[in-house]
Homo-oligomer: A and B are copies of this chain.
Amino acid sequence: MKLKPKLSRAPMASVATFLIKTPNPSHSLAKSINTQLSSNVKFSISLKTPKSNPRKTYQKIRISCGLIEPDGGQLVELIVPQSQKNEKKKEAMLLPRVRLTKIDLQWVHVLSEGWASPLNGFMRESEFLQTLHFNSIRLENGSVVNMSVPIVLAIDDLQKQKIGESNKVALVDSNDNPVAILSNIEIYKHNKEERIARTWGTTAPGLPYVDQAITHSGNWLIGGDLEVIDRIKYYDGLDRFRLSPAELRREFEKRGADAVFAFQLRNPVHNGHALLMTDTRRRLLEMGYQNPVLLLHPLGGYTKADDVPLEWRMKQHEKVLEDGVLDPETTVVSIFPSPMHYAGPTEVQWHAKARINAGANFYIVGRDPAGMGHPIEKRDLYDADHGKKVLSMAPGLERLNILPFKVAAYDKTQGKMAFFDPSRPQDFLFISGTKMRTLAKNKESPPDGFMCPGGWKVLVEYYDSLVPSENGKVPEAVAA
Protein backbone atom coordinates (compact mmCIF):
# COMPACT_ATOMS: atom_id res chain seq x y z
CA MET A 1 0.00 0.00 0.00
CA LYS A 2 1.77 3.13 -1.14
CA LEU A 3 0.56 6.56 -0.30
CA LYS A 4 2.07 8.78 -2.91
CA PRO A 5 -0.38 11.55 -3.63
CA LYS A 6 -0.08 12.92 -7.11
CA LEU A 7 2.35 15.74 -6.40
CA SER A 8 2.75 16.58 -10.03
CA ARG A 9 0.14 16.00 -12.63
CA ALA A 10 0.76 15.29 -16.24
CA PRO A 11 -1.04 18.20 -17.87
CA MET A 12 -1.41 16.51 -21.22
CA ALA A 13 -3.11 13.54 -19.72
CA SER A 14 -5.65 15.63 -17.95
CA VAL A 15 -6.24 18.13 -20.70
CA ALA A 16 -8.86 15.99 -22.34
CA THR A 17 -10.95 16.14 -19.22
CA PHE A 18 -11.04 19.89 -19.26
CA LEU A 19 -11.96 20.35 -22.83
CA ILE A 20 -15.22 18.56 -22.87
CA LYS A 21 -18.02 20.68 -24.16
CA THR A 22 -19.75 22.45 -21.33
CA PRO A 23 -22.99 24.36 -21.67
CA ASN A 24 -22.94 28.07 -21.10
CA PRO A 25 -22.91 28.62 -17.38
CA SER A 26 -26.48 29.03 -16.32
CA HIS A 27 -27.24 31.39 -13.51
CA SER A 28 -29.17 30.75 -10.37
CA LEU A 29 -30.42 34.30 -10.47
CA ALA A 30 -31.10 36.16 -13.68
CA LYS A 31 -28.38 38.62 -14.53
CA SER A 32 -29.06 42.26 -15.09
CA ILE A 33 -25.58 43.63 -15.57
CA ASN A 34 -24.97 45.51 -18.75
CA THR A 35 -21.35 44.92 -19.59
CA GLN A 36 -19.89 47.13 -22.25
CA LEU A 37 -16.57 45.42 -22.17
CA SER A 38 -15.14 46.68 -25.41
CA SER A 39 -15.67 50.33 -24.59
CA ASN A 40 -15.01 50.21 -20.88
CA VAL A 41 -11.93 48.14 -20.55
CA LYS A 42 -8.95 50.01 -21.80
CA PHE A 43 -5.97 47.79 -22.13
CA SER A 44 -7.02 44.52 -20.77
CA ILE A 45 -9.26 43.32 -23.48
CA SER A 46 -8.67 43.53 -27.16
CA LEU A 47 -11.33 42.46 -29.56
CA LYS A 48 -9.23 42.86 -32.67
CA THR A 49 -8.58 39.73 -34.61
CA PRO A 50 -4.89 39.82 -35.45
CA LYS A 51 -4.24 39.01 -39.08
CA SER A 52 -1.62 36.47 -38.22
CA ASN A 53 -3.96 34.51 -36.00
CA PRO A 54 -5.70 31.58 -37.64
CA ARG A 55 -8.88 32.58 -35.86
CA LYS A 56 -11.02 30.08 -37.64
CA THR A 57 -9.09 27.22 -36.18
CA TYR A 58 -9.52 28.71 -32.73
CA GLN A 59 -13.19 29.07 -33.16
CA LYS A 60 -13.51 25.50 -34.26
CA ILE A 61 -11.72 24.41 -31.12
CA ARG A 62 -13.75 26.73 -28.97
CA ILE A 63 -16.97 25.34 -30.24
CA SER A 64 -15.97 21.80 -29.55
CA CYS A 65 -14.24 22.51 -26.26
CA GLY A 66 -15.41 25.22 -23.87
CA LEU A 67 -13.93 26.45 -20.63
CA ILE A 68 -13.48 24.51 -17.42
CA GLU A 69 -16.75 24.12 -15.52
CA PRO A 70 -17.31 26.26 -12.44
CA ASP A 71 -17.21 24.47 -9.09
CA GLY A 72 -20.50 22.73 -8.47
CA GLY A 73 -21.37 22.81 -12.17
CA GLN A 74 -22.73 26.31 -12.47
CA LEU A 75 -21.70 29.83 -11.64
CA VAL A 76 -23.71 31.14 -8.71
CA GLU A 77 -24.55 34.81 -9.25
CA LEU A 78 -26.42 36.50 -6.47
CA ILE A 79 -27.37 39.90 -7.88
CA VAL A 80 -31.13 40.41 -7.99
CA PRO A 81 -32.72 40.96 -11.43
CA GLN A 82 -33.43 44.57 -12.39
CA SER A 83 -37.17 43.93 -12.16
CA GLN A 84 -36.95 43.02 -8.47
CA LYS A 85 -34.52 45.69 -7.30
CA ASN A 86 -37.04 48.15 -5.93
CA GLU A 87 -39.05 45.51 -4.23
CA LYS A 88 -35.94 44.05 -2.57
CA LYS A 89 -34.76 47.49 -1.50
CA LYS A 90 -38.12 48.14 0.13
CA GLU A 91 -38.04 44.78 1.82
CA ALA A 92 -34.53 45.45 3.12
CA MET A 93 -35.65 48.73 4.71
CA LEU A 94 -37.99 46.80 6.99
CA LEU A 95 -35.50 44.19 8.15
CA PRO A 96 -33.07 44.19 11.07
CA ARG A 97 -29.79 45.67 9.86
CA VAL A 98 -26.23 44.44 9.90
CA ARG A 99 -23.71 47.10 8.95
CA LEU A 100 -20.90 45.86 6.72
CA THR A 101 -17.28 46.78 7.17
CA LYS A 102 -15.15 47.52 4.12
CA ILE A 103 -13.85 43.93 4.13
CA ASP A 104 -17.35 42.49 4.63
CA LEU A 105 -18.41 44.40 1.53
CA GLN A 106 -15.52 42.89 -0.42
CA TRP A 107 -16.78 39.45 0.57
CA VAL A 108 -20.30 40.39 -0.52
CA HIS A 109 -18.71 41.35 -3.85
CA VAL A 110 -16.87 38.01 -4.04
CA LEU A 111 -20.01 36.02 -3.25
CA SER A 112 -22.30 38.07 -5.48
CA GLU A 113 -20.33 37.28 -8.64
CA GLY A 114 -19.75 33.60 -7.96
CA TRP A 115 -16.03 33.59 -7.25
CA ALA A 116 -16.86 31.24 -4.38
CA SER A 117 -19.36 29.13 -6.37
CA PRO A 118 -21.25 27.08 -5.33
CA LEU A 119 -21.49 29.12 -2.08
CA ASN A 120 -24.70 31.10 -2.22
CA GLY A 121 -24.11 33.34 0.76
CA PHE A 122 -22.10 33.77 3.92
CA MET A 123 -21.22 30.39 5.40
CA ARG A 124 -23.47 28.60 7.82
CA GLU A 125 -21.83 26.53 10.52
CA SER A 126 -21.61 23.30 8.54
CA GLU A 127 -19.75 25.07 5.72
CA PHE A 128 -17.57 26.94 8.19
CA LEU A 129 -16.59 23.73 9.99
CA GLN A 130 -15.84 21.91 6.76
CA THR A 131 -13.72 24.83 5.60
CA LEU A 132 -11.72 24.91 8.83
CA HIS A 133 -11.23 21.15 9.09
CA PHE A 134 -11.18 19.89 5.52
CA ASN A 135 -10.52 22.96 3.33
CA SER A 136 -13.38 21.64 1.23
CA ILE A 137 -17.15 21.26 1.22
CA ARG A 138 -19.16 18.22 0.25
CA LEU A 139 -22.19 18.98 -1.89
CA GLU A 140 -25.54 17.23 -1.77
CA ASN A 141 -24.60 15.08 -4.76
CA GLY A 142 -21.55 13.80 -2.87
CA SER A 143 -18.97 15.72 -4.90
CA VAL A 144 -16.40 17.88 -3.17
CA VAL A 145 -15.43 21.48 -3.91
CA ASN A 146 -12.44 23.24 -2.51
CA MET A 147 -13.08 25.96 0.07
CA SER A 148 -10.14 26.82 2.28
CA VAL A 149 -10.83 30.30 3.63
CA PRO A 150 -13.91 31.01 5.77
CA ILE A 151 -16.24 33.48 4.08
CA VAL A 152 -18.18 34.56 7.13
CA LEU A 153 -19.92 37.58 8.53
CA ALA A 154 -19.42 38.48 12.19
CA ILE A 155 -22.00 40.22 14.36
CA ASP A 156 -21.84 41.25 18.00
CA ASP A 157 -24.14 40.45 20.90
CA LEU A 158 -26.21 43.59 20.42
CA GLN A 159 -26.76 42.91 16.71
CA LYS A 160 -27.71 39.33 17.51
CA GLN A 161 -30.22 40.56 20.04
CA LYS A 162 -31.70 43.04 17.56
CA ILE A 163 -32.09 40.32 14.95
CA GLY A 164 -34.05 38.28 17.47
CA GLU A 165 -36.25 35.71 15.76
CA SER A 166 -36.09 37.29 12.31
CA ASN A 167 -35.31 34.88 9.51
CA LYS A 168 -33.78 37.61 7.35
CA VAL A 169 -31.52 40.62 7.77
CA ALA A 170 -30.55 43.55 5.60
CA LEU A 171 -26.85 44.11 5.04
CA VAL A 172 -26.16 47.84 4.84
CA ASP A 173 -23.14 49.94 3.94
CA SER A 174 -21.48 52.58 6.11
CA ASN A 175 -24.20 55.06 5.11
CA ASP A 176 -26.96 52.61 6.06
CA ASN A 177 -27.87 52.02 2.41
CA PRO A 178 -29.14 48.50 1.87
CA VAL A 179 -26.66 46.39 -0.05
CA ALA A 180 -28.13 42.93 0.27
CA ILE A 181 -30.59 40.67 2.01
CA LEU A 182 -29.46 37.60 3.89
CA SER A 183 -32.21 34.98 4.25
CA ASN A 184 -32.75 31.72 6.10
CA ILE A 185 -30.12 32.93 8.48
CA GLU A 186 -28.20 30.83 10.95
CA ILE A 187 -26.34 32.46 13.82
CA TYR A 188 -23.55 30.49 15.48
CA LYS A 189 -20.56 31.07 17.72
CA HIS A 190 -17.50 32.81 16.35
CA ASN A 191 -14.63 31.02 18.04
CA LYS A 192 -11.96 33.42 16.89
CA GLU A 193 -9.02 31.58 18.37
CA GLU A 194 -9.95 28.34 16.65
CA ARG A 195 -10.72 30.08 13.36
CA ILE A 196 -7.35 31.83 13.40
CA ALA A 197 -5.35 28.77 14.47
CA ARG A 198 -6.89 26.52 11.82
CA THR A 199 -6.70 29.11 9.03
CA TRP A 200 -3.22 30.51 9.65
CA GLY A 201 -1.51 27.71 11.59
CA THR A 202 -0.54 30.25 14.22
CA THR A 203 -2.26 32.53 16.68
CA ALA A 204 0.68 34.90 17.01
CA PRO A 205 -0.38 38.53 17.35
CA GLY A 206 0.20 40.73 14.32
CA LEU A 207 -1.45 38.78 11.48
CA PRO A 208 -2.72 41.62 9.27
CA TYR A 209 -6.15 40.23 8.36
CA VAL A 210 -6.74 39.05 11.91
CA ASP A 211 -5.92 42.48 13.35
CA GLN A 212 -8.03 44.17 10.71
CA ALA A 213 -11.07 41.93 10.47
CA ILE A 214 -11.26 39.35 13.26
CA THR A 215 -9.90 40.46 16.61
CA HIS A 216 -12.39 43.28 17.08
CA SER A 217 -15.27 41.61 15.28
CA GLY A 218 -18.34 40.17 16.98
CA ASN A 219 -18.62 36.90 18.85
CA TRP A 220 -21.20 35.45 16.46
CA LEU A 221 -21.23 34.53 12.82
CA ILE A 222 -24.32 34.87 10.66
CA GLY A 223 -24.75 32.70 7.60
CA GLY A 224 -27.51 32.57 5.03
CA ASP A 225 -28.58 32.97 1.42
CA LEU A 226 -27.42 36.22 -0.13
CA GLU A 227 -29.28 38.47 -2.56
CA VAL A 228 -27.31 41.52 -3.59
CA ILE A 229 -29.35 44.51 -4.69
CA ASP A 230 -26.83 46.29 -6.90
CA ARG A 231 -23.57 45.17 -8.36
CA ILE A 232 -20.77 46.18 -5.96
CA LYS A 233 -18.83 49.21 -7.24
CA TYR A 234 -16.02 51.23 -5.68
CA TYR A 235 -16.08 54.38 -7.86
CA ASP A 236 -12.30 54.57 -7.74
CA GLY A 237 -11.77 54.67 -11.49
CA LEU A 238 -10.96 50.97 -11.48
CA ASP A 239 -14.44 49.44 -11.60
CA ARG A 240 -14.00 48.88 -15.35
CA PHE A 241 -11.28 46.36 -14.50
CA ARG A 242 -13.47 44.44 -12.09
CA LEU A 243 -14.80 41.78 -14.41
CA SER A 244 -16.98 39.10 -12.91
CA PRO A 245 -16.26 35.42 -13.54
CA ALA A 246 -19.12 35.38 -16.07
CA GLU A 247 -17.68 38.39 -17.89
CA LEU A 248 -14.21 36.87 -17.89
CA ARG A 249 -15.61 33.62 -19.27
CA ARG A 250 -17.34 35.51 -22.04
CA GLU A 251 -14.13 37.35 -22.82
CA PHE A 252 -12.11 34.13 -22.96
CA GLU A 253 -14.69 32.63 -25.24
CA LYS A 254 -14.68 35.72 -27.44
CA ARG A 255 -10.95 35.40 -27.77
CA GLY A 256 -11.23 31.74 -28.59
CA ALA A 257 -9.04 30.71 -25.68
CA ASP A 258 -8.48 26.98 -25.51
CA ALA A 259 -6.46 27.30 -22.30
CA VAL A 260 -6.60 29.99 -19.63
CA PHE A 261 -3.68 30.36 -17.23
CA ALA A 262 -4.12 32.56 -14.20
CA PHE A 263 -1.48 34.55 -12.42
CA GLN A 264 -2.49 35.90 -9.00
CA LEU A 265 -0.49 38.85 -7.80
CA ARG A 266 -0.51 41.61 -5.24
CA ASN A 267 2.82 43.20 -6.19
CA PRO A 268 4.32 45.13 -9.08
CA VAL A 269 5.17 42.99 -12.11
CA HIS A 270 8.88 42.75 -12.84
CA ASN A 271 10.49 41.11 -15.81
CA GLY A 272 10.95 37.87 -13.89
CA HIS A 273 7.19 37.57 -13.62
CA ALA A 274 6.82 38.53 -17.26
CA LEU A 275 9.36 35.91 -18.30
CA LEU A 276 7.46 33.31 -16.36
CA MET A 277 4.15 34.23 -17.94
CA THR A 278 5.48 34.31 -21.51
CA ASP A 279 7.31 31.06 -20.87
CA THR A 280 4.11 29.47 -19.60
CA ARG A 281 2.34 30.46 -22.79
CA ARG A 282 5.20 28.96 -24.79
CA ARG A 283 4.91 25.70 -22.87
CA LEU A 284 1.16 25.57 -23.38
CA LEU A 285 1.61 26.11 -27.12
CA GLU A 286 4.14 23.29 -27.11
CA MET A 287 1.60 21.07 -25.41
CA GLY A 288 -0.70 21.59 -28.36
CA TYR A 289 -2.93 24.41 -27.21
CA GLN A 290 -3.51 26.89 -29.97
CA ASN A 291 -4.58 29.97 -28.06
CA PRO A 292 -3.61 30.03 -24.39
CA VAL A 293 -4.75 33.27 -22.76
CA LEU A 294 -3.20 34.77 -19.63
CA LEU A 295 -5.44 36.07 -16.87
CA LEU A 296 -3.23 38.60 -15.09
CA HIS A 297 -5.26 38.95 -11.96
CA PRO A 298 -4.13 41.42 -9.31
CA LEU A 299 -5.91 41.11 -6.00
CA GLY A 300 -8.09 44.14 -5.34
CA GLY A 301 -9.43 43.69 -1.82
CA TYR A 302 -7.80 44.39 1.52
CA THR A 303 -4.00 44.23 1.56
CA LYS A 304 -1.65 45.05 4.40
CA ALA A 305 -0.28 48.54 4.87
CA ASP A 306 3.15 47.85 3.43
CA ASP A 307 1.88 46.35 0.16
CA VAL A 308 1.73 48.67 -2.84
CA PRO A 309 -1.87 49.94 -3.09
CA LEU A 310 -4.11 48.68 -5.89
CA GLU A 311 -4.28 51.94 -7.83
CA TRP A 312 -0.47 52.13 -8.08
CA ARG A 313 -0.19 48.50 -8.98
CA MET A 314 -2.76 48.94 -11.72
CA LYS A 315 -0.80 51.90 -13.10
CA GLN A 316 2.31 49.78 -13.02
CA HIS A 317 0.61 46.82 -14.73
CA GLU A 318 -0.72 49.16 -17.40
CA LYS A 319 2.83 50.36 -18.16
CA VAL A 320 4.04 46.78 -18.36
CA LEU A 321 1.48 46.09 -21.06
CA GLU A 322 2.12 49.39 -22.82
CA ASP A 323 5.83 48.68 -22.85
CA GLY A 324 5.13 45.41 -24.60
CA VAL A 325 6.57 43.23 -21.87
CA LEU A 326 3.36 41.22 -22.01
CA ASP A 327 1.29 40.76 -25.13
CA PRO A 328 -2.08 42.57 -24.75
CA GLU A 329 -3.42 40.30 -27.45
CA THR A 330 -3.22 37.24 -25.26
CA THR A 331 -3.48 38.87 -21.84
CA VAL A 332 -6.56 39.84 -19.88
CA VAL A 333 -5.90 42.12 -16.92
CA SER A 334 -8.69 42.20 -14.41
CA ILE A 335 -9.08 42.80 -10.67
CA PHE A 336 -9.84 39.93 -8.29
CA PRO A 337 -12.10 41.46 -5.63
CA SER A 338 -11.08 39.24 -2.70
CA PRO A 339 -9.42 40.58 0.42
CA MET A 340 -6.02 39.09 1.27
CA HIS A 341 -5.60 36.75 4.24
CA TYR A 342 -1.82 36.15 4.04
CA ALA A 343 -2.58 32.58 5.04
CA GLY A 344 -0.07 30.83 2.78
CA PRO A 345 -0.93 27.22 1.85
CA THR A 346 -4.50 27.65 3.08
CA GLU A 347 -5.12 30.80 1.09
CA VAL A 348 -3.43 29.75 -2.15
CA GLN A 349 -6.19 27.15 -2.52
CA TRP A 350 -8.78 29.91 -2.42
CA HIS A 351 -6.83 31.92 -4.96
CA ALA A 352 -6.76 28.94 -7.30
CA LYS A 353 -10.33 27.81 -6.72
CA ALA A 354 -11.77 31.26 -7.45
CA ARG A 355 -9.93 31.30 -10.78
CA ILE A 356 -11.51 28.00 -11.82
CA ASN A 357 -14.81 29.78 -11.45
CA ALA A 358 -13.51 32.50 -13.77
CA GLY A 359 -12.60 29.90 -16.39
CA ALA A 360 -8.91 29.26 -15.69
CA ASN A 361 -7.72 25.67 -16.04
CA PHE A 362 -4.04 26.42 -15.39
CA TYR A 363 -2.75 28.13 -12.29
CA ILE A 364 0.77 29.45 -11.82
CA VAL A 365 2.02 29.04 -8.27
CA GLY A 366 5.17 30.62 -6.96
CA ARG A 367 7.47 30.31 -4.00
CA ASP A 368 5.65 30.92 -0.70
CA PRO A 369 2.31 32.01 -2.21
CA ALA A 370 0.23 34.25 0.06
CA GLY A 371 3.06 34.05 2.56
CA MET A 372 4.67 36.64 4.78
CA GLY A 373 7.18 36.88 7.57
CA HIS A 374 6.16 35.38 10.90
CA PRO A 375 4.63 38.25 12.86
CA ILE A 376 6.84 37.74 15.92
CA GLU A 377 9.60 35.30 14.96
CA LYS A 378 12.52 35.93 12.63
CA ARG A 379 11.47 33.50 9.92
CA ASP A 380 8.91 33.09 7.15
CA LEU A 381 5.53 32.07 8.52
CA TYR A 382 5.24 29.20 6.01
CA ASP A 383 7.69 26.82 4.42
CA ALA A 384 8.27 28.25 0.95
CA ASP A 385 7.41 24.93 -0.73
CA HIS A 386 4.26 24.12 1.24
CA GLY A 387 2.02 26.35 -0.87
CA LYS A 388 2.56 24.46 -4.09
CA LYS A 389 2.59 21.08 -2.32
CA VAL A 390 -0.68 21.71 -0.51
CA LEU A 391 -2.22 23.17 -3.65
CA SER A 392 -1.29 20.14 -5.70
CA MET A 393 -2.92 17.81 -3.16
CA ALA A 394 -5.99 19.91 -2.34
CA PRO A 395 -9.41 18.25 -2.50
CA GLY A 396 -11.65 19.77 -5.15
CA LEU A 397 -8.78 21.13 -7.24
CA GLU A 398 -8.02 17.93 -9.11
CA ARG A 399 -9.29 19.48 -12.35
CA LEU A 400 -6.87 22.38 -12.18
CA ASN A 401 -3.39 22.10 -13.68
CA ILE A 402 -0.87 23.49 -11.23
CA LEU A 403 2.14 25.12 -12.86
CA PRO A 404 4.89 25.57 -10.32
CA PHE A 405 6.91 28.74 -10.61
CA LYS A 406 10.45 28.50 -11.91
CA VAL A 407 12.85 30.76 -10.05
CA ALA A 408 13.77 33.82 -12.10
CA ALA A 409 16.67 36.08 -11.19
CA TYR A 410 18.75 38.79 -12.81
CA ASP A 411 21.32 37.18 -15.08
CA LYS A 412 24.32 39.51 -15.09
CA THR A 413 25.82 37.84 -18.17
CA GLN A 414 22.68 38.52 -20.23
CA GLY A 415 21.67 41.76 -18.52
CA LYS A 416 18.10 40.55 -18.06
CA MET A 417 15.81 38.43 -15.92
CA ALA A 418 16.22 34.75 -16.70
CA PHE A 419 15.46 31.41 -15.16
CA PHE A 420 18.04 30.65 -12.52
CA ASP A 421 20.68 28.21 -13.72
CA PRO A 422 22.05 26.32 -10.71
CA SER A 423 25.20 25.40 -12.67
CA ARG A 424 26.36 29.05 -12.64
CA PRO A 425 24.93 30.67 -9.49
CA GLN A 426 27.58 33.40 -9.49
CA ASP A 427 26.00 34.93 -12.60
CA PHE A 428 22.64 35.58 -10.92
CA LEU A 429 21.45 38.42 -8.77
CA PHE A 430 18.39 37.97 -6.59
CA ILE A 431 16.65 41.29 -6.13
CA SER A 432 14.57 40.97 -3.01
CA GLY A 433 11.47 42.95 -2.22
CA THR A 434 13.37 44.95 0.35
CA LYS A 435 16.09 45.72 -2.19
CA MET A 436 13.52 46.77 -4.80
CA ARG A 437 11.74 49.00 -2.29
CA THR A 438 14.94 50.63 -1.14
CA LEU A 439 15.93 51.39 -4.70
CA ALA A 440 12.54 52.83 -5.63
CA LYS A 441 12.36 54.84 -2.41
CA ASN A 442 15.79 56.32 -3.06
CA LYS A 443 14.88 56.98 -6.70
CA GLU A 444 17.74 54.74 -7.75
CA SER A 445 17.44 52.43 -10.72
CA PRO A 446 17.49 48.65 -10.63
CA PRO A 447 19.79 46.91 -13.11
CA ASP A 448 18.65 47.38 -16.72
CA GLY A 449 16.12 44.72 -17.59
CA PHE A 450 14.77 44.14 -14.09
CA MET A 451 11.55 46.00 -14.79
CA CYS A 452 10.36 47.98 -17.78
CA PRO A 453 11.25 51.68 -17.30
CA GLY A 454 7.63 52.85 -17.37
CA GLY A 455 6.69 50.40 -14.65
CA TRP A 456 9.64 51.35 -12.51
CA LYS A 457 8.76 55.03 -12.84
CA VAL A 458 5.32 54.30 -11.38
CA LEU A 459 6.92 52.63 -8.37
CA VAL A 460 9.25 55.54 -7.78
CA GLU A 461 6.29 57.92 -8.03
CA TYR A 462 4.38 55.85 -5.51
CA TYR A 463 7.13 56.01 -2.90
CA ASP A 464 7.58 59.67 -3.72
CA SER A 465 3.91 60.24 -2.98
CA LEU A 466 4.19 58.83 0.51
CA VAL A 467 4.49 61.34 3.29
CA PRO A 468 6.99 59.75 5.66
CA SER A 469 5.37 59.00 8.98
CA GLU A 470 6.62 60.57 12.18
CA ASN A 471 9.49 58.17 12.66
CA GLY A 472 10.61 58.85 9.12
CA LYS A 473 9.80 55.33 7.98
CA VAL A 474 8.07 54.56 4.74
CA PRO A 475 5.90 51.41 4.66
CA GLU A 476 7.70 48.45 3.15
CA ALA A 477 6.64 47.06 -0.18
CA VAL A 478 7.60 43.54 -0.97
CA ALA A 479 8.14 42.08 -4.43
CA ALA A 480 6.82 38.77 -5.80
Contacts and interface: CB of A to CB of B under 8 A. Distances in A.
Contacts of A13: none
Given A129-B393, A134-B135, A345-B133, A193 B201 contact: yes
A141 B202 CA distance: 33
A130 B386 CA distance: 11
A140 B3 contact: yes
A155 interface: no
A345 B345 CA distance: 22
Contacts of A395: 134, 136, 138, 144, 395
A221 to B, nearest CB: 12
Given A126-B4, A138-B395, A194 B201 contact: yes
Interface string A16-31: 0000000000001000
A72 B1 contact: yes
Interface in A118-163: 118-120, 124-127, 129-130, 132-140, 144, 148
A393 B75 CA distance: 24
Instruction: State the majority secondary structure of interface residues on A.
Output: loop
A74 interface: yes
Contact of A3 (B119, B200, B386): B119
Contacts of A127: 3, 5
Interface residues of A, number: 53
Interface in A1-48: 1-7, 28
A191 interface: yes
Contacts of A191: 201, 383
Contacts of A139: 3, 5
Interface in A164-201: 189, 191, 193-194, 197-198, 200-201
B134 A383 contact: no
A340 interface: no
A96 to B, nearest CB: 24
Nearest to A383: B189
A207 to B, nearest CB: 11
Please tell me how many copies of the chain the complex holds: 2
A112 interface: no
Nearest to A1: B118
A7 B383 contact: no
Contacts of A5: 126-127, 130, 137-140
Contacts of A133: 135, 148, 345-346, 390, 393-394
Contacts of A204: 193
A55 interface: no
Interface string A437-449: 0000000000000
A13 to B, nearest CB: 13
A117 B1 contact: yes
A76 interface: yes
A65 to B, nearest CB: 24
Q: Which 5 pairs across A and B sit closest by C-beta, in order of nearness?
A: A194-B201, A197-B197, A1-B118, A197-B201, A203-B203
Interface of A: 1-7, 28, 72, 74, 76, 117-120, 124-127, 129-130, 132-140, 144, 148, 189, 191, 193-194, 197-198, 200-204, 345-346, 382-383, 386, 389-390, 393-395
Given A1-B74, A134-B393, 20 more contacts: A1-B72, A1-B118, A3-B140, A5-B130, A6-B140, A7-B126, A132-B201, A133-B148, A133-B346, A133-B393, A134-B135, A136-B395, A144-B395, A191-B201, A194-B202, A194-B382, A197-B198, A198-B201, A202-B203, A203-B203
